[in-house]
Amino acid sequence: MTSMSRARVARRIAAGAAYGGGGAGLVGAAVIGLVLAEVRLARRQLGNGLSGRVPTADGVYGRAYDIPGEPPLRLAVLGDSTAAGQGVHRAGQTPGALLASGLAAVAERPVELRNVAVTGARSDDLDRQTGLLLSAPGPVPDVCVIMIGANDVTHRMPPAQSVRHLSVAVRRLRTAGAEVVVGTCPDLGTIEPVQQPLRWLARRASRQLAAAQTIGVVAQGGRTVSLGDLLGPEFEANPRELFGPDNYHPSAEGYATAAMAILPTVCAALGLWPEEERPDVSRREGFLPVARAAAEAAAEAGTEVTAAMPAGPRGPWALLKRRRRRRVPEAEPATPSV
């Protein structure tokens, strides 16, 4: 499928989300049902890692930067098992802890993390997760990271419905005053036990949803980072290293790779990243119609999309960025929040 074709499909799904449609896009429900069956079979064969406890990573990171009288930055994480950190054994290996520790190092300021992500969650659970954050005592998070979409694909949620739930969550968080960064639907075609041709179909469905998610998120004032094949061609090249023991969830190294790609966008959303907010032609960055930017980002992991001009000859435009990544080491244990 060409970039223009992917853009048209993403536009159609996003329009359905905005106006109440619910079509499944070019990859129909029957095909997704086959992908679902294959993924379930793979989980049964390998053990899906869901019986283990997800480490609790909430707390304050970067206490060494504590300045009396200055409150910590507040980071919240929402989404599914990938956001929660399913598959690793230490809190410091979860994406929330990695992002909090990395943000603290860049900002030179402590970061308080709250993770409300739930293993198995789909986009329709974001309403509940968002409510938990916004109803909690204390200030609204400074920045929220959402990682969602894989379970929507494998459980055959219509893409337009999926994007609608995500868009509403982003709008609620932005209206409350939080910056929002969304890691879009990962590439299910990298799940090693899924065989061809279903691997290709899973990849196509994942990218369609990721592109449509980008359009919906950017329209609500959020930023997206394409998770693609969990952020790097090395994921497919070294699946034994970057997948966890279940061959489905990321390993500690896989989560570190994901956090390394998301961190620059989290910092940029808070005005902390030392790069200019303008395109670098040498890295193939630029202003594009939002649907085209979404399609290109879905095809290249680690690509950021954010709103630019409100309108152009073909509708809203977006800035497509390929930020330089920063290595994120395993986080030190957090200090419990007071």
Annotated active-site residue in 123, 165, 249, 251 = 249
322 DSSP assignment:
-
Annotated active-site residue in 80, 101, 246, 251 = 246
Instruction: Calculate the CA 41 to chain-centre distance.
Output: 25
Return the residue matching tokens 């504590």: 66
> Which of 140, 180, 191 minimizes the C-alpha distance to 36?
191
For β-strands 223-225 and 304-307, DSSP reports them as antiparallel
Annotated active-site residue in 80, 81, 165, 167 = 81
d(CA 115, CA 55): 11
> Which of 149, 127, 157, 128 minimizes the C-alpha distance to 81?
149
d(CA 82, CA 249): 7
d(CA 173, CA 181): 11
Active site residue 249: yes
For β-strands 286-289 and 223-225, DSSP reports them as unpaired
Instruction: Please give the backbone phi and psi of residue 89, each rounded to the nearest 5 degrees, phi first.
Output: -110, -20
**The token pair that represents 113 in the structure block:** 């993390």
Active site residue 251: no
Q: Which residues, listed in sequence order, are joined to residue 115 by a DSSP beta bridge?
A: 77
> Which of 124, 129, 211 minimizes the C-alpha distance to 164?
124
Instruction: Calculate the CA 316 to chain-centre distance.
Output: 22
Active site residue 246: yes
CB-neighbour burial class of residue 327 (10 A; exposed 0-12, middle 13-18, buried 19+): exposed
- AA identity, residue 161: Q
Give the residue numbers annotated as catalytic, written as ranges. 81, 246, 249
